[in-house]
Structure 1
Amino acid sequence: MSIALLKPDNPLVAWWRTRVIATVDHVDVVEKVREDAGFTGRYAFMTLMSAGIAVLGLLLSSPAVVIGAMLISPLMGPIIGLGFGLATFDWDEIRTAAIAVALGFLIAILFTALLVLVSPIQNVTAEIAARTRPNLFDLLVALFSALAGAYAMIRGRAGTVVGVAIATALMPPIAVVGFGLATWNWTVFAGSLLLFLTNLITIAVAAAVVARLYGFGSHLSPQHTMLQTIVVTVALAAFAIPLGLVLVQLGWEANTSRQIRDVISGEFAGAARLSQVEIDYESDPVRVTATVLTPRVQDDVERRAAGVLAQLVGRPVAVELEQIRVGTGAQAEAAQVAAAQASSASAANRLAARAQEQLALIAGVKPEAVLLDRDNRRAVVNAAPLPGANLAAYRALETRVAAGVQGWTVTLVPPVAALPDIAVEEDQPNPDALATAIWAAQRIKLPLGVSGNGAQTVVDALTEAGVDARVTGNGNGTARLRWLAPEEAN
């Protein structure tokens, strides 16, 4: 567009000013925006209720419940207020709206994290996973939501439906941030936080652009307008470029998945069919694991399929096929049983991989440092020292991982950290501190020395749990525990 088109005497600009901008009650709109942009008791309450419903819907993987959260979300007001503040360079409005957004975000993630902590369900559902890998389409959703919200506010048509459009882009990611925080899943936390920030900035910037188009900020100088243009361009480009690259990657994965299925199916003639296909795009080479039900088992099919796929996708591909022979009658029944067993084995492998990944993450080590016993379903790892973590924290981390990989025995060996003091009242040691000491001693396998008030009572409790412990001194106060070298215990 040339500069001449934007001159005041241009017929199109003149028409827009007289037929569109002139019909907007700017004073009334500004008052309405300011009224809805601040942090109030109603805003805080509705944010908490919306966040609570959203996280429950995500845990249940129920889109209907998530939509219910959007219906009551109050996020539209301060976000649109932030956009109008940017459009008019109203720093008081920007500060008020930014505080409301920040406080709303903070109380929402803390509330959702609390709900997840007390929830027996802490699995990454499909609804949660969908909001951990933002792409360009997510940015476009936020952009269109902002355009609808700002237009509705300016034309006096703001309401629940438009508020839902804004909440679509913001409330579910906030709930997923809380989930990631509660479960210490930093992949989920970082992905959903990036999605939230992307949507927040896109909505605010788009609202600012619409506000300028409708004559808000007309008192600004050309220098101010140029600054706004630069900010808008940089902000959108900063997110659009990396998210566009992610979208390209997702498109490549979808196309590659189709090609893999087509190539493997093409290697088998007749009634053969794929039972399941698993693809690991992160590995090098790309790893493909599939189960094929076929009337005739074929030789060398994996090598041929890998060669064809490597040429098609442009990356090395490793193919692992399990061929299950399918016939009629008893053979068909046996094939179905075998397929079910293969599916069960695949599920077990995924569970093992999850245990390995989560243990490595919380222990601060590489995945290969986690020892897996797949036959007995046991996972063991020696944790690296984590800043600020005590033995109780390591114990809680082990419990959390074990809850997510049911059927597995998870053992997290903590570093030799300070043992908790144990208060003894009426000859009864504090149960939580005692349990932490027993847990640590069973994993580190060093004897314990106990001194202080009730030392013998604590030693008796530790010995009953199978821990090597002895009294090393008496005194007042709580019982104090320390690690002993093996020779000290003799």
Structure 2
Amino acid sequence: MSQSAPAARGLAPTSGGGSRLGRFAARLTGPLGSWWRGSVIPGIEHRAVIAKVDDEASLTPRYAFMILMSAGIAVLGLLLSSPAVVIGAMLISPLMGPIIGLGFGIATIDGNEIRRTAMTLAAGIVMAVLFTALVVFFSPIKDVTSEIAARTRPNLFDLMVALFSALAGAYAMIRGREGTIVGVAIATALMPPLATVGFGLATLNATVFFGALLLFVTNLMTIAIAAAVMARLYGFGPKLTSRQSGMQAGVIIVVFLALAIPLGYSLSQIAWEARAQRQAREVLAEQFPRQAKIDQLDIDFAGDPLTILATVLTPQFRSRAGALGEARLAKALGRPVKLSLDQFRVGTAAGDAEAAQLASASASAASLKERENAALVGRELALLAGVPAEAVLVDRDKRLAQVRANPLPGATLATYRALEQRLSAAEPQWTLQLIPPPLPLPDISLDGEELGDEGEANLALAIWAARRTGLALTVSGRANQSQIVLTKLSEAGISATSNDSSISSADVRLAWAFQTGAP
């Protein structure tokens, strides 16, 4: 490296010049500042450090290869939910080099260095995300594992981890303590969030994608800024004017606030959820004898109302525990709550410990099987209705599944009822309701004053359609025959009115009230 290049990048340490910021810092630190500038900074091999930073931040074939290998290991570790494999990806990831190089470029206000390291970093990010997305796309496993979920909700603590790790990493780079970088790489975990971003991209999961992206950006910006602060502290970039130093300080403050505010909110939300978990356990425990044990407690915080699934091992059943617990939980948490409570009776003697453990396992397995069965019923009903699974309303407590069907080509009301009956026969423990579109209703034929077999079947179909849709009907026909059909509909609990328009046909015609303009 030439003699002029180090000077241009501000490698020669000085006391801060005559800038107001430098004079203020000198007065503030006093003897400690003099000792730092006179003893510590001169001991730093600035040229060697810059050369090392430049080498670590270069876009080379080795860098690209290690990015791809690290990304591949990370995404496989995430899919397998293996912390050991994920740690292996952290150790070989070369992303720390260009991020620290970016920090040094910011410290010295070196535009060329900032552009170079930013391009290296951008190339690594794009390669990692696309490669991991490709792996996930062809993988038969696309479930959100615990390792993936852990990287979708960054909070203020993640920013603090990145800050402390970055300070340690920059110190290790400046002071020649490269061994420390291994621990820093594990702490900041730069590659796993990128692999999680790739997973979110491949599965079109926006929650995973943006959550992991925020975690990576938090680590990236925090490391770069912390590296810049350490570089300035150790005498890199001393040629800056007071205006440039002020700009640096302003950028650092703005970036930290931009990251800290949403991450702080996320931390407060996580803290509230932890308190809600504790309060839910306390409230449920109050409904049972002291020997009872809450074996499982799951809360869906995204639901409205909050959905709480709980399993209790108790020596004594409490019939009103669910209703009382739901009311008290709503009061304690300050939000509407829907509680699904399963009680399993176990003994209280010491010899019953093994039985309690077996009951606990059975309770968990039964609850899991129940949820899986509910999800299966929802998917089957959605398939019949031609709608996405999310459109199905499933009430696991009442074993009720309901969906509003899309119009199917050539389908009639009889078609939809047949589909409902077919699935109901396959799932006899569930009440399945397929709400049809308001298709034309059948005519009701009468033989004098009596309904024939065909008339009875058509009337039953009309009653089914009216119950499912909740819509009122109008009845048109001869007065005496219309009255017979009106009476039958009223007995079935269907709202129906007579249409004033008379027809000469022997059949009674039914129509939806909204189509005839009836009140």
TM-score, structure 2 normalization:
0.65
Change (3 A) 1:380 1:207: farther
**Consecutive unaligned residues in structure 2, runs of 5 or more:** 1-20, 408-519
CA distance in 2, matches of 1:147, 1:347: 47
| CA positional deviation for 1:325 | 3.2
| CA positional deviation for 1:326 | 3.4
How many matched pairs?
374
Query: Is residue 85 of structure 2 the alignment partner of residue 65 of structure 1?
Result: yes
CA distance in 2, matches of 1:376, 1:297: 25
Q: Which has the larger radius of gyration?
A: 2
Deviations 1:59-109 (A, max 9, x none): 111111111111211112111100000000001100000000000010111
CA distance in 2, matches of 1:295, 1:382: 49
Change (3 A) 1:175 1:344: same
Cα RMSD after superposing both structures = 3.3
CA distance in 2, matches of 1:275, 1:16: 58
Matches for 1:164-313 after TM superposition, within 5 Å: 164-166=183-185, 168-313=188-333
Query: What's the counterpart of residue 447 of structure 2?
Result: none
Deviations 1:282-323 (A, max 9, x none): 223322221222222223223332343334333333323222
CA distance in 2, matches of 1:131, 1:80: 22
Q: Residue type of the partner of 2:184?
A: A
Matches for 1:6-85 after TM superposition, within 5 Å: 6-7=25-26, 10-85=30-105
Query: Is residue 399 of structure 2 the alignment partner of residue 369 of structure 1?
Result: no
CA distance in 1, matches of 2:238, 2:212: 37
| CA positional deviation for 1:378 | 12
Q: What is the DSSP-based 3-state SS (H/G/I as helix, E as strand, rest coil) of the residue aligned with 2:189?
A: helix
Query: Is residue 175 of structure 2 the alignment partner of residue 155 of structure 1?
Result: yes
CA distance in 2, matches of 1:178, 1:334: 41
Q: Is the 8 A contact 2:300 2:308 kept in 1?
A: yes
Q: Residue type of the partner of 2:321?
A: V
CA distance in 2, matches of 1:380, 1:52: 43
| CA positional deviation for 1:346 | 2.9
Deviations 1:183-228 (A, max 9, x none): 2222111111111111111111111111111111100000000000
Q: What is the DSSP-based 3-state SS (H/G/I as helix, E as strand, rest coil) of the residue aligned with 1:193?
A: helix
Q: What is the DSSP-based 3-state SS (H/G/I as helix, E as strand, rest coil) of the residue aligned with 1:7?
A: helix
**Consecutive unaligned residues in structure 1, runs of 5 or more:** 384-490
Matches for 1:470-489 after TM superposition, within 5 Å: none
| CA positional deviation for 1:351 | 6.7
Q: Residue type of the partner of 1:369?
A: A
CA distance in 2, matches of 1:18, 1:255: 52
Query: Is residue 363 of structure 2 the alignment partner of residue 341 of structure 1?
Result: no
Q: Residue type of the partner of 1:162?
A: I
Q: Residue type of the partner of 1:346?
A: R
Matches for 1:81-100 after TM superposition, within 5 Å: 81-100=101-120
% identity of equivalent residues: 55
CA distance in 2, matches of 1:275, 1:108: 41
| CA positional deviation for 1:270 | 4.1
Q: Residue type of the partner of 2:286?
A: G
Change (3 A) 1:116 1:224: same
Query: What's the counterpart of residue 496 of structure 2?
Result: none
CA distance in 2, matches of 1:340, 1:57: 27
Q: Is the 8 A contact 1:133 1:192 kept in 2?
A: yes
Deviations 1:362-409 (A, max 9, x none): x9x9975357799999999879xxxxxxxxxxxxxxxxxxxxxxxxxx
CA distance in 2, matches of 1:214, 1:54: 34
Change (3 A) 1:19 1:171: same
Identify which range, 30-39 or 313-322, moves more after superposition.
Answer: 313-322
Query: What's the counterpart of residue 126 of structure 2?
Result: 106
Q: Is the 8 A contact 1:267 1:305 kept in 2?
A: yes
Q: Is the 8 A contact 2:374 2:394 kept in 1?
A: no
| CA positional deviation for 1:181 | 1.2
Q: What is the DSSP-based 3-state SS (H/G/I as helix, E as strand, rest coil) of the residue aligned with 1:140?
A: helix
Identify which range, 122-131 or 307-316, moves more after superposition.
Answer: 307-316
Q: What is the DSSP-based 3-state SS (H/G/I as helix, E as strand, rest coil) of the residue aligned with 1:276?
A: strand
| CA positional deviation for 1:165 | 1.6
Q: Is the 8 A contact 1:373 1:379 kept in 2?
A: no
Identify which range, 179-188 or 238-247, moves more after superposition.
Answer: 179-188
Query: Is residue 350 of structure 2 the alignment partner of residue 325 of structure 1?
Result: no
| CA positional deviation for 1:45 | 0.5
Change (3 A) 1:25 1:338: closer
CA distance in 2, matches of 1:188, 1:382: 30
Q: Is the 8 A contact 1:79 1:101 kept in 2?
A: yes
Q: Residue type of the partner of 2:340?
A: E
Identify which range, 115-124 or 202-211, moves more after superposition.
Answer: 115-124
Q: Is the 8 A contact 2:392 2:402 kept in 1?
A: no
Q: Residue type of the partner of 2:242?
A: P
Which one of 125, 137, 140 corresponds to residue 120 of structure 1?
A: 140
Identify which range, 267-276 or 77-86, moves more after superposition.
Answer: 267-276
CA distance in 1, matches of 2:88, 2:375: 33
| CA positional deviation for 1:251 | 1.0
Q: Residue type of the partner of 2:369?
A: S
CA distance in 2, matches of 1:163, 1:304: 53
CA distance in 1, matches of 2:364, 2:85: 35
CA distance in 1, matches of 2:275, 2:395: 36
